[in-house]
Amino acid sequence: SIDQTGTILVVNDAACAMFGYSREEFINNNISMICNEKDSQSHDKYMERYLRTGKRRVIGIKRPLVARRKDGSEFHVELGVSEVNLPDGKKVFCGYVRDRTQERLDKQMIRRRDAVIKDEFFTPKKEDVRGAMKRNLERATQ
C-alpha cells in the first residue's frame, strides 16, 4: 500500500521476493523504485493528476506494464490498484502485482510450436513443388 505521495506504507513477502528488496528497503520509499524508467519519472505526476481531477486511469483496472527489480532488470507484470478512503479524508492505494514472465514465455513457446506445425504440415516442401511442376509439365507435353 502507498499513501497519496507515493510513499510505501505496507509490503508483503511476495512483493519482497518478486522485486528483490527487503521490507525495510521498501517501507517509507517512493513506489517509483519499482517502476520502469519512463513511469518512474512520471509516477508522482500521475498521482497528483488523479488527486486533482479524480479521473481514473489505473485504479480499478488491471493493466499490463513493465516493472523494475532491485538489480535493475525489468519484467512484465499485471498491476491492479484499489483506492481506500480513510476516515480522515486521506487516501491509500493498494496495489496487486502479478509477474507475467512465465505467461509470456508460455505464449512465445506456443507461437513457436504453432509455426513449426504450420511449416511442417502446411507449407509445400521444395521437392513437392518440383514434383508437381514436373508432373504438370509432363501432362502439358502429352
Percent of residues, the chain, with pLDDT higher than 70: 87
User: Which residue has cell 479524480?
Assistant: 54
Whether pLDDT at 65 is above 90: yes
**Segment 47-60, tens digit of pLDDT:** 899 989 988 888 98
Read off the C-alpha cell for 104. Answer: 509470456
Percent of residues, the chain, with pLDDT higher than 90: 54
Distance CA 105, CA 87 (A): 44
**Segment 5-28, tens digit of pLDDT:** 999 999 999 999 999 999 999 999
- SS3 state of residue 65: strand
Mean pLDDT of the chain: 87
Q: What are phi and psi of 101, to 5 degrees?
A: -55, -55
Count CB atoms within 10 A of the CB of residue 8: 21
